[in-house]
Structure 1
Amino acid sequence: MTQEFRIVVVCTANICRSPMAEAMIRHALRAGGPDAAGVVVESAGVYGHEGSPIAPGSASALRALGIEDDGHRGRRLTTAIVGAADLVLTMEEGHRDAILAGTPEAGDRTFTLREFARLVGGQAPPSGTGAAARARALVATAGSRRTRLPWPGVDDVPDPYGGPSEGYHACAALILGEVGTLLRPLLGT
């Protein structure tokens, strides 16, 4: 039996970007069949709005893609959540930096979503039986390829919260593209 692999997606309040990414990853994992069963995804916010539903604009953008939010409720990120994660994907470099300030030992498995997709995109699926084993190999690969970019914010996913619906749909499209890039080698597709 393959050990579980836990992905945690993080944004500011856990009501907009991270729940969209969580829902997209979960949707793709369900479509991945039994091989993906060992991969679990959840989300949290650096300043999580405990118990709040997903932002209406985010829910609308997901529905337009044929994805449901599964009754998401916001929660605040804790060191226990980070400690239990095999991979932490943040929406902004500032989120990553906040996590590493409180949990420096998570540095080898904490990336922005865009950074991780860039580092593993185009990779042949790693050897290993099951998506969880491939995910572990991808985290190791990403860590070995990581370099610090010379300009801040290049890997941030813009926050559409409070803006027009077009912003939510553009954000969802950006996240969906990055999720697709990082899941191809994980799912072996």
Structure 2
Amino acid sequence: MSYHVCLVCMGNICRSPMAEIVLRATLAGHGLGDLVTVDSAGTGDWHQGGPMDARAAAMLADHGYDGSQHRARQFLPDWWGGIDLVLAMDARNLDALRRLAPAGADVRLFRSFDPAAPPGAEVPDPYYGEREGFAEVLRMVEAASAGLAGHLAATLPRSTGV
């Protein structure tokens, strides 16, 4: 059985898909690709079915990641039963998710897994900015992904192959 992580931002076209793709690659690099399922969604429905923002995809491509297959979707309340950890990119989305969450759901800020980030640190929305905003998001996402991969490597049971 796979551990399931869902990354969530507002429209699922910039931050959360960048995080999904980076986290998936990071987990594979830690040998956890078969143990953890990663996906993403938005709290809003504006971009459902559409591709990732072209600037986000270009930033990922510039760093060796492929975001071409991403299609935006909205987080649905009936997903809670199949997700172990929901990670919001910012406090606004965290609040929205917590309002939807059943008791006991594990909902946190994504950057809480970055050991260098201060408590409450967010991944800022680069949508209305320039290229540097997407580069900053990628740096934050890579740091949080590394921290989360380390956490999961230390806490998830692994098959012994016996």
**Contact residue 45 and residue 74 of structure 1 kept, 8 A:** yes
**Matching residue of 1:65:** 63
Structure 1 stretches of at least 4 aligned residues deviating more than 4 Å after TM superposition = none
Aligned partner (choices 150, 153, 164) of residue 130 of structure 2: 164
**Matching residue of 2:37:** 40
Unpaired stretches in structure 2, ≥5 consecutive residues: 155-162
1:68, CA displacement in angstroms? Answer: 0.8
SS in 1 for 2:75: coil
TM-score scaled to structure 2, two decimals? 0.85
**Matching residue of 2:159:** none
**Matching residue of 1:18:** 16
SS in 1 for 2:134: helix
Task: After TM superposition, list the pairs within 5 Å mapping 1:5-154 onto structure 2.
Answer: 5-33=3-31, 35-48=32-45, 49-107=47-105, 109-115=106-112, 117-118=113-114, 121=115, 154=120
CA RMSD, aligned part only? 1.9
Aligned partner (choices 175, 182, 186) of residue 148 of structure 2: 182
TM-score scaled to structure 1, two decimals? 0.73
**Which structure is higher in helix share?**
1
Q: How many residues align?
A: 151
Taking every aligned residue pair, what percent have the same amino acid on both sides?
A: 32
Question: How many angstroms apart in 2 are the aligned matches of 1:187 and 1:58?
Answer: 28
**Contact residue 88 and residue 109 of structure 2 kept, 8 A:** yes
Unpaired stretches in structure 1, ≥5 consecutive residues: 123-148
The one-letter code sitting in structure 1 at the alignment partner of 2:122 is D
1:70, CA displacement in angstroms? Answer: 4.7
